[in-house]
Chains A and B, each alone.
Chain A
Amino acid sequence: MLEIKNLHVAVGGKEILKGLTLSIGEGEVHAIMGPNGSGKSTLSYVLAGREGYEITQGSISYRGGDLATMKTEDRAAKGVFLAMQYPVEIPGVTTLTFLKTALNAQRRARGDSELDAMSVLKLVRQRATALQVTEEMLKRALNVGFSGGEKKRLEILQMSLFEPKLAILDETDSGLDIDALKLVAEGVNALRAPERAMLVITHYQRLLNYIVPDRVHVLAGGRIVAEGGKELAHELEAKGYAHIVKEPA
């Protein structure tokens, strides 16, 4: 479903990804691990279509189409979802209004009929309970005054509502205590499905105890430098990145 070949990406003229190759099939959960500055967030942004991330070489094929030429909003409508490390606070837009607008925008783009306010509310309530997203949170301005855990839960609630084909989770564990982490991980695991691929980006192995990946890739210096099964994550935790990330000759 996702084929990244020899991907080079520059931000502000500086090359961050330097020939990344990665392939994810339907229903698979892949983890990308790597030290700070290795290009993990750049990869997540370039997949989601953030401006300022310039592909200088290589290709990204998503479900048979060229992802790189698609607009940000079209990627979302076609099933790409990025759970962000730092979800943005938007005063003046209530959370529920935002969810309704986004959900209906995606439905419209796919040629589905829009849902009315009551149907959206019903759907949101049904999905929100398991993630402990309260009615009160839904009435507040988007992410404004939310704790770190509340923000991450709201990201996973969106994932649950939008039902993406490819979910990218960027440092979803950052800033969470163990209880919050478990809650978020359970939310993610509930969304594992044969037709849904996930790319879990994380610095630490901790999250992967709860969201167990099929494959682990180690990103360093803008390239995948090691790959393996879930045991690779444990090895990294025990020995550190320096053990695997060899300085370029």
Chain B
Amino acid sequence: MNAALPSRDARRAEALESFRERGMPHRRFEHWRYSDLRAILDAGQVAQSGTAAWHLEKAPEGVETFDLGKPDAPDWVMRNLGTIGARPTMKEASLAFADGGIALRVPRGRKIAEPARLQISSTGNVRVLLVLEEETSLTLLETHTGDAGLLRNVGVEIALASQAKLSHVRFAASALKSISVEHIGVTQARGAQYRAHFANFGSRLSRTELHILLQEEDAEAHLSGVNVLGDEGHADLTSHIEHVAGNTRSTQLFKKVAGGHSRAVYQGKITVREGANGSDSRQTAKALLLGGRAEADLKPELIIFADDVKCAHGAAVGDLDPESLFYLRSRGVPEAEARHMLVRAFLEDAVAEIENEELRAAIWQDVEHALPHAMRAAR
């Protein structure tokens, strides 16, 4: 053990202090405008919710794991835990209150074909740490199953060394009584690739926040995601990608279908830091509102301190195209089926971003399952 590193207890104490000082996020705080957590939850409830249960379905061969609830963490855990990306208040809470979690390490040079499947299945706080060393690759499927109780608060840290490649697919089933908060911090060294897809089917309040640091040249982040929301479902995806070094690339493609009284949120901030010339970033967020009672808030944001950069962004909220609907119906496709076809078509390019065929098919199944709720007329 490295004596220079603070102990886990010391880190957790510091995180607790930080959470107590800053308190619960609310409407005018840390970009929580569309997800007022303080209005429905207090700090005491966060502390009382304890540690969430997680389950790693047999770690793929070549992947090292460590249970964060156990003593004597190895060096690779201690060097990274609590150090990656921003530390917003709920993330501090997850470190302070989770008595466990899972850490995964892919040692240098290992390419892992079989996906690692992580399930988080109960209420509480939990931490996840992924360390991919040089020239490695891994696919992580993170599944959030139905009932998250009152609160599920997940703090994820991902360290990608040079030429490491992580494909991350996060699936959150509909859980309309639960509050779900997750913060994902990612650091990327030279040539590292982070591909992530977020399929979220709505919670009472669901917040997925990303902070990605493209720290060295040729690092790339490609984010995509779909929401299919109905009833009172809510899904907020907030991302901050920082192009720290030049010649770094990022793309984002989010498609949101909102019916019933649901609310879909996308806030995407791109920062291109001074000197990060040759950076290329693109972000697209589109929402399809089915019925007049759903809401979508799409906010792309660019902050650029470098000169020679390419940045493009677009956001659009709309309804199904009546021309397309007429075209399909005039070919004999019944109206309900035509609507369904067009909603699927709207989501198509975002789902196509998932590279793993099996996971892509699984997400389509979940979309199919969620669509009837989203397409049901709001009462």
Contact = CB atoms under 8 A, between A and B. Distances in A.
- To the question of whether A and B form a pair in one complex, the answer is yes
Interface string B309-341: 000000000000111101111111111011001
B346 interface: yes
Interface string A128-164: 0000000000000000000000000000001000100
A157 to B, nearest CB: 12
14 contacts: A48-B326, A49-B329, A50-B330, A51-B322, A72-B329, A73-B332, A76-B329, A88-B327, A91-B348, A92-B347, A98-B328, A102-B333, A105-B331, A105-B337
The 4 closest A-B pairs by CB, nearest first: A92-B345, A92-B348, A76-B332, A106-B332
A105 B328 CA distance: 10
Contacts of A77: 332
A87 interface: yes
A152 to B, nearest CB: 14
A101 B341 CA distance: 10
Contacts of B99: none
Interface in A62-77: 71-73, 75-77
B282 interface: no
Interface residues of A, number: 28
A50 B347 CA distance: 26
B117 interface: no
Contacts of A178: none
Interface centre among A48, A76, A92, A109 (most CB of B within 10 A): A92
Interface residues of B, number: 24
A93 B341 CA distance: 8
A49 to B, nearest CB: 7
A48 B323 CA distance: 13
A26 B87 CA distance: 75
A2 interface: no
Q: Which of A73, A103, A109 has the most CB of B within 10 A?
A: A73
Given A51-B326, A101-B337, A90 B332 contact: no
B373 interface: no
A102 B324 contact: no
Q: Dominant SS at the B interface? A: helix
B349 interface: yes
Contacts of B330: 48-50, 72-73, 75-76, 81-82, 84
Among A75, A93, A103, residue most surrounded by chain B Cβ atoms (within 10 Å)? A93
A73 B344 contact: no
A49 B346 CA distance: 25
Contacts of A81: 330
A84 B334 contact: no
A169 to B, nearest CB: 13
A244 B295 CA distance: 55
B47 interface: no
Given A88-B326, A103-B332, 6 more contacts: A49-B329, A51-B322, A72-B330, A92-B347, A105-B337, A109-B332
Contact of A92 (B322, B323, B331, B346): B346
Given A92-B345, A92-B348, A84 B327 contact: yes
Contacts of B344: 92-93
A73 B327 contact: no
A73 B329 contact: yes
B34 to A, nearest CB: 27
Contact of A93 (B332, B335, B345): B345
Nearest to B329: A72
B173 interface: no
Contacts of A92: 344-349
A133 to B, nearest CB: 16
B13 interface: no
Contacts of A51: 322, 326
Contact of A50 (B326, B337, B348): B326
A100 to B, nearest CB: 11
Given A51-B322, A91-B345, A76 B327 contact: no
B331 A76 contact: yes
Contacts of A87: 327
A90 B325 CA distance: 10
A48 B321 CA distance: 18
A101 B336 CA distance: 13
A73 B349 contact: no
A102 B331 contact: yes
Most-contacted residue by chain B among A88, A91, A106 (CB, 10 A): A88
Contacts of A98: 328, 331
B342 interface: yes
A174 B331 CA distance: 21
A70 to B, nearest CB: 11
Contacts of B338: 73
B345 A105 contact: no
Contacts of A109: 332, 334
